[in-house]
C-alpha cells in the first residue's frame, strides 16, 4: 500500500470530524436552552406535577386539640359491646376511656355479671357498638329497640365490606363485612355496599381513601366541627325518619363502581347514631382534622342517655324486677343450750 492511499482517507476523516464538532458547538451557542437544564425540572413528560419539589411535602391536617367530655358530677356508664365479634380492642379505645374517666364517668367492656347483652342493657346510660361481624338475635334486637325507646342511647360504628390479606406461611384473603344490619335496619339505616374514595387533594387526608366529611346541618353532633376524616369510609343507606348529619365531600365516589353521588356518612334516628367508619376513634386518627371534637360530641350524646333499669346493683344488693333492693341479712344462729349434768345417787 502506497503512502498516498493511507493519507488521503485519514485527511477526509479528520475534516468530517471537525465539521461535526464545529456544528455541535454552533448549535449549543445559538440555542443554549435546547438541551434542558441540568436538574431536569422543566422536561416535558418526565416530571409530572406530583413529582415537582413543591408537591413532595404535602400539607397535613393538624393533629392537636383534645377530647372534651362534660363533668356534671353525675356518674354515667357506657357499655362497649364485645359480644358480637366486634373488631375493636380496649387499647384502641384508650383515648376515649381516658377522657370519660377524667370527667368522672365509666366505660365498661362486655356485659357485667352473668347476664347477656339483652339482659344487661338497662344498667347503662349509653352503648357503643364497634364494627360487629355477628348479627343480633331477635331477642337482642327487641331489647335494643326497647332500650332506646326508654331513654338509653346507642352509637354504632360500622365499616363497608373489605378484603383482608392474612400473613404467615400460607397467605389467604378473607372478606370482612358489617354483620349487624339486621339490628340497625329497625332504625331506618344500613351499611352501604362499597367503600368510598376521593382523588381531590382538597377532599382527602393525603390518601384517596381517607375522605373528608362535612356537617349537613346544625346539632349537638356537629357542634364545633368543620371537617372530619375517615380512613375506611363507606356510606349509609337511609329510609324512614333517619336524619343525615354528615355527608362525604363533593366529588366522592364508590370504589368499585366509580359512582359519584351524595353519600351520608353519619346518620341519627332519635337515640341511635350510625357512623360509617370505625377507624377514626383509634389513637392514630382521633386528632386528625376535627375528629376529636366529633368524638367528644358522640360521647356527650351517649352520656346524656338514661339507664332504663337504674344503676347497676352494688355488692350486697340483689335485683328484683330491674330495681335494686337491699338483700336480707340472715339471722345469727341461736346456740343450743348445754345440758346440765345430774349427780348420781339422788
pLDDT single digits (tens) 89-120: 999 999 999 999 999 999 999 876 667 899 99
Q: Of 126-130, 230-234, 336-340, which gets the smallest average pLDDT? A: 336-340
Residue found by looking up cell 408537591 in the block: 55
Given pLDDT bands bounded at 50, 70 and 90, which one contains residue 43? low
pLDDT score of 19: 77
Average pLDDT, the chain: 83
Given pLDDT bands bounded at 50, 70 and 90, which one contains residue 38? low
Q: What is the pLDDT of residues 57-95, one digit of tens each?
A: 666 666 778 898 988 778 999 999 999 999 999 999 999
* pTM exceeds 0.85 for this model: no
Given pLDDT bands bounded at 50, 70 and 90, which one contains residue 313? very low
Question: Burial level of 30, CB count in 10 A (0-12/13-18/19+)?
Answer: exposed
Residue 246 phi, psi (nearest 5): -135, 145
Residue 163: alpha-carbon gap to chain centroid: 17
Q: What is the pLDDT of residues 229-284, one digit of tens each?
A: 999 999 999 998 899 999 999 999 999 999 999 999 999 999 999 999 999 999 88
Report yes or no: 164 and 174 within 8 Å, Cβ to Cβ.
Answer: yes
Q: What is the mean pLDDT of residues 7-25?
A: 76
Residue 191 half-sphere exposure, CB side, CA atoms within 13 Å? 29
Amino acid at each position: 500500500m502506497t503512502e498516498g492511499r493511507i493519507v488521503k482517507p485519514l485527511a477526509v476523516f479528520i475534516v468530517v470530524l471537525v465539521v461535526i464538532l464545529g456544528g455541535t458547538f454552533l448549535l449549543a451557542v445559538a440555542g443554549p436552552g435546547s438541551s434542558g437544564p441540568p436538574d431536569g425540572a422543566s422536561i416535558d413528560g418526565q416530571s409530572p406535577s406530583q413529582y415537582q419539589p413543591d408537591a413532595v411535602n404535602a400539607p397535613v391536617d393538624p393533629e392537636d386539640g383534645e377530647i372534651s367530655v362534660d363533668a356534671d358530677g353525675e356518674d354515667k356508664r357506657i357499655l362497649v359491646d364485645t359480644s358480637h365479634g366486634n373488631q375493636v380492642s380496649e387499647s384502641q379505645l384508650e383515648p376515649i376511656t381516658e377522657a370519660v374517666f377524667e370527667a368522672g364517668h365509666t366505660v365498661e367492656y362486655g356485659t357485667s355479671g352473668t347476664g347477656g347483652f339483652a339482659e344487661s342493657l338497662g344498667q347503662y346510660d349509653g352503648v357503643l357498638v364497634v364494627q360487629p361481624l355477628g348479627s343480633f338475635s331477635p331477642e337482642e334486637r327487641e331489647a335494643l329497640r326497647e332500650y332506646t325507646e326508654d331513654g338509653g342511647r346507642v352509637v354504632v360504628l360500622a365499616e363497608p365490606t373489605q378484603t383482608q390479606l392474612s400473613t404467615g406461611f400460607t397467605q389467604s384473603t378473607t372478606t370482612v363485612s358489617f354483620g349487624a344490619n339486621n339490628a340497625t335496619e329497625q332504625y331506618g339505616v344500613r351499611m352501604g355496599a362499597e367503600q368510598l374514595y376521593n382523588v381531590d387533594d382538597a377532599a382527602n387526608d393525603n390518601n384517596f381513601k381517607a375522605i373528608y366529611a362535612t356537617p349537613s346541618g346544625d346539632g349537638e353532633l356537629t357542634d364545633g366541627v368543620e371537617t372530619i376524616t375517615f380512613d375506611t369510609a363507606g356510606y349509609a343507606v337511609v329510609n324512614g325518619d333517619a336524619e343525615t348529619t354528615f355527608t362525604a365531600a363533593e366529588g366522592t365516589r364508590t370504589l368499585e363502581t366509580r359512582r359519584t353521588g351524595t353519600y351520608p356518612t353519619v346518620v341519627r334516628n332519635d337515640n341511635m347514631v350510625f357512623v360509617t367508619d370505625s377507624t377514626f376513634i383509634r389513637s392514630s386518627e382521633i386528632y386528625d382534622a376535627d375528629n376529636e371534637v366529633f368524638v367528644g360530641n358522640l360521647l356527650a350524646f351517649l352520656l346524656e342517655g338514661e339507664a332504663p333499669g337504674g344503676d347497676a346493683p352494688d355488692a350486697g344488693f340483689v335485683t328484683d324486677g330491674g330495681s335494686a333492693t337491699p338483700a336480707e341479712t340472715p339471722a345469727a344462729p341461736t346456740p343450743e343450750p348445754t345440758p346440765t349434768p345430774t349427780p348420781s345417787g339422788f
